[in-house]
Amino acid sequence: MRSITTWARIKSPWVIHFNSGACNGCDIEVIALLTPRYDVERFGIKLAPSPRHADVLLTTGVVTAQCAERLKRIYDQMPEPKFVVAIGACACSGGVFKGNYSVVGGVENIIPVNIYIPGCPPKPEAIIDGVVKLLNSLKEA
Amino acid sequence: MQNRVGPSLTGPSGILQPLADFIKLITKEDIIPRDAKKTVFRFAPILAFSVIVFGMCFFPIDGTNIIPNSAFSGDLIFDLALLTIVNFLMFLSGWASASPYGSIGAARVLVQFLGYDIPLFLLALSPAFLAQSLSISEIATAQNIPFVILAPWAFILFLIAMQAELEKDPFDTPNAESELVGGLETEYCGGRLAFLHLTRDVQIIFGAAIVVELFLGGPYGPVFFGFPTFWYTLWFILKLLGVIVLSEYLASLFARLRIDQVLTGNWKILLPLSILSLILTVALATWIYPWVM
């Protein structure tokens, strides 16, 4: 029973994408993933319309002070089990904006993060690699 | 479309993907929004699913009643009424979720199916009149020549009305993702979302099955050797898949209409056309077909 559940979770991760104040560089790479060029739908990865449907939260961007509360709220709306992927240098650590008065800096300061994918912006291949690592960690657990 | 292959790595060529989605959804956490109407929110999706599966019982699948089906005279009307009830339960499930997106999606479901039910019923009367019966199995039996040949206008209009009734492109305004997030299922998660998706999928099969029974000769087809039951079931499934492919092809071919265009298309175009089609069918069946055949 447990192995069937794990299999289903690995084969059907629905993602939702949240931009917490990114420059849109990482967002374009995320869109490239979902569109025919890289087409992650082959792996069962689907863009969910609402956070209630999603399993994986793809966050991009340095978390601005204004966005922090919204990011937390979106995270709380997702049903368990849920995973967070921080995409890009800003989402991982704050990037070049670290120390700025208007940013929190790093998604990990607001919500727990499962996988960090650095890069400015990371290539779609790198994002796929990160998501595969996340799914493999599910298999081992 | 766009040369996309779709999920291809879950089981043999991705055939197990819906199963994986379903298992994943029913094992997820169950959240009920604080302001939702809790009883309706809990039961409407599951009730919708059970009603549509109940409606599937009335189709003659093997043609010889080896697989018993609960057919009775007049079950065509009963079955179409069940389809309406399912749509109403879908509306209730969206309305109960107390979310603006869910409510707008639900209101659009209501507006759309109330309008498109009328032409759908009128068009379903054409084959009923040709077969002189309101029973689905008798309509299927009466088709020595499939009614798609005798009344092709009714067939085409019925396909369009069915597309609208099942909320598929170009009529999928109730779940327009670019405007309404997830439409009526926005606030649903876990098992209830799985049941809403399953209801939609079964609805598609239900609609295709009605088209097969009313216009394409039901399960009847040539029997080559052995048991007729086997061949009739095979013909039914092949025809069903054909209709589903056609309907999916239409859905991916057309862009979504706006809600006002959907309504205008219904009341100004489809409803008069369906009345005309019924008049034409009745006239031909009364005066022309008895002489020709």
What's residue B44's pLDDT? Answer: 86
Reported as a pLDDT band with limits 50, 70 and 90, residue A12 is confident
Contact: B21, A8; criterion CB under 8 Å? yes
Q: What is the mean pLDDT of chain A?
A: 85
What's residue A4's pLDDT? Answer: 81
Sheet holding A14-19, edge to edge: A46-47, A14-19, A56-60, A83-87, A115-117
Neighbouring C-alpha atoms within 13 Å toward the C-beta of B148? 14
The chain B residue lying nearest A52, using CA atoms, is: B189
The chain A residue lying nearest B192, using CA atoms, is: A53
Percentage above 90 pLDDT, chain B: 0
Contact: A12, B189; criterion CB under 8 Å? no
What's residue B251's pLDDT? Answer: 83
Contact: A11, B193; criterion CB under 8 Å? no
Q: Give the mean pLDDT of B140-153.
A: 79
Q: Has residue A127 got a pLDDT over 60?
A: yes
CA distances from A67 to A17, A70, A71, A121, A126 (A): 14, 5, 6, 20, 26
What's residue B250's pLDDT? Answer: 84
Q: Has residue A26 got a pLDDT over 70?
A: yes
Q: Has residue B64 got a pLDDT over 80?
A: no
Determine the residue among B2, B5, B10 to mutate to test chain A binding: the one whose Cβ has the most chain A Cβ atoms within 10 Å. B10
Contact: B8, A5; criterion CB under 8 Å? no
Q: Give the mean pLDDT of B285-293.
A: 73
- Residue A14 belongs to domain spanning: 2-140
Supply A88's token pair.
């890009």
The model's pTM: 0.83
Give, for A49, the enclosing helix (H) or strand (E). Answer: none
Q: Has residue B236 got a pLDDT over 60?
A: yes
From A96's Cα to the closest Cα of chain B, the distance in A is 33
How are beta strands A56-60 and A14-19 bridged, if at all?
Answer: parallel
Q: Give the mean pLDDT of A69-87.
A: 88
B171-225: per-residue pLDDT in tens? 777 776 667 777 777 888 888 888 888 888 888 888 888 888 888 877 777 777 7
Total domains, chain A: 1
The answer to whether the beta carbons of residues B220 and B140 sit under 8 Å apart is: yes
What's residue B252's pLDDT? Answer: 81
Distance (Å, whole) CA B140 – CA A99:
74
B122-138: per-residue pLDDT in tens? 888 888 888 888 888 77
CATH number at residue A98: 3.40.50.12280
Which of the residue ranges A43-57, A67-81, B224-238, B241-255 would you say has the lowest mean pLDDT? B224-238
- Residue in this structure with the two tokens 């966050």, named with its chain if needed: A59
Q: Give the mean pLDDT of A89-116.
A: 85
The shortest CB-CB distance from A79 to any of B4, B23, B189 is to B189
Contact: B2, A36; criterion CB under 8 Å? yes
- Give this complex's ipTM: 0.77
Contact: B20, A53; criterion CB under 8 Å? no
Kindly list the residues from chain B whose CB atom is less than 8 angstroms away from the CB atom of residue A12.
Answer: 10, 17, 20-21, 24
Kindly list the residues from chain B whose CB atom is less than 8 angstroms away from the CB atom of residue A52.
Answer: 31, 182, 186-189, 193
Give, for A126, the enclosing helix (H) or strand (E). Answer: helix A124-140
Q: Give the mean pLDDT of A60-87.
A: 87
B65-117: per-residue pLDDT in tens? 555 666 677 788 888 888 888 888 888 888 888 888 888 888 888 888 888 88
Q: Give the mean pLDDT of A82-107.
A: 85
From A47's Cα to the closest Cα of chain B, the distance in A is 11
Q: Residue B244's CB: how many other CB atoms inside 10 A? A: 17
Determine the residue among A3, A4, A12, A55 to mutate to test chain B binding: the one whose Cβ has the most chain B Cβ atoms within 10 Å. A12
